[in-house]
Chain A
Amino acid sequence: EPEVTQTPSHQVTQMGQEVILRCVPISNHLYFYWYRQILGQKVEFLVSFYNNEISEKSEIFDDQFSVERPDGSNFTLKIRSTKLEDSAMYFCASGQGFQETQYFGPGTRLLVL
């Protein structure tokens, strides 16, 4: 069964450094998403991406964040200058249709020191 994959599974970085989190969505999906979950808290939406552009973003998704689909298979989240409070589990998700099921990857645990 096809699944969403994410790399790396864990990343440790120094405050102020740039990180890129990578995702490979399910191949025939058209809608792509990033969410995050700070330890012990609820899952929060960051951004959705459809038709090669951001379709919706939350207040969390400020100028430090960007997303890209550089080729036909990868979907990336870049954090330009990480802060301590960016430490969280970051989940990528993809779906076939608008407001249809979103399938989540296993997550990347980011720790900013």
Chain B
Amino acid sequence: SQQGEEDPQALSIQEGENATMNCSYKTSINNLQWYRQNSGRGLVHLILIRSNEREKHSGRLRVTLDTSKKSSSLLITASRAADTASYFCVYSGAGSYQLTFGKGTKLSVIP
């Protein structure tokens, strides 16, 4: 299977704390993306990091990518209750059109 593995599967934190989610994958990639999904609803794109990038920021989000270890992390700083959602690292294998999703990390931010 080429699917990624997110870690942890569930994370519960207090509002204002930082949340870190990790992801590992098994194939060569051109880029890796993180998506958010609220309660089985639509998938919202958060950030895309290319294979030649090591770190990328967008607002309160920080993503890292280590292609040698085939891993990525998503850091959400100063979390808010509205950040409660499932987070997925998503990627395409070389030459593939499809995005491969893992099971995600379910983040709960407690007000």
Of B42, B92, B100, the residue contacting A91 (CB under 8 A) is B42
Name the prevailing secondary structure of the A interface residues: strand
Query: Could you tell me if A56 and B96 are in contact, using CB atoms closer than 8 angstroms?
Result: yes
Chain-B contact segment, one of A14-22, A31-39, A73-81: A31-39
C-beta contact mask, A6-27 vs B, less than 8 Å → 1, else 0? 0000000000000000000000
Least CB distance, A105 to chain B, in whole angstroms: 7
Given contacts A37-B40, A56-B96, A107-B42, A101 and B101 within 8 Å (CB-CB): no
Interface size on B, residues (CB 8 A): 23
Contact residue among B44, B97, B102 (Cβ-Cβ distance under 8 Å from A42): B102
Contact A104 B42 (CB under 8 A): yes
Cα(A93)–Cα(B97), bound, Å: 12
Is B45's CB within 8 Å of the partner chain A?
A: yes
Interface check B52, CB cutoff 8 A: no
* 5 residue pairs bridging A and B, Cβ less than 8 Å apart: A33-B99, A35-B99, A44-B101, A98-B97, A100-B48
Query: Interface on A for B, CB 8 Å cutoff?
Result: 31, 33, 35, 37, 39, 42-45, 48, 50, 55-56, 58, 89, 91, 93, 98-107
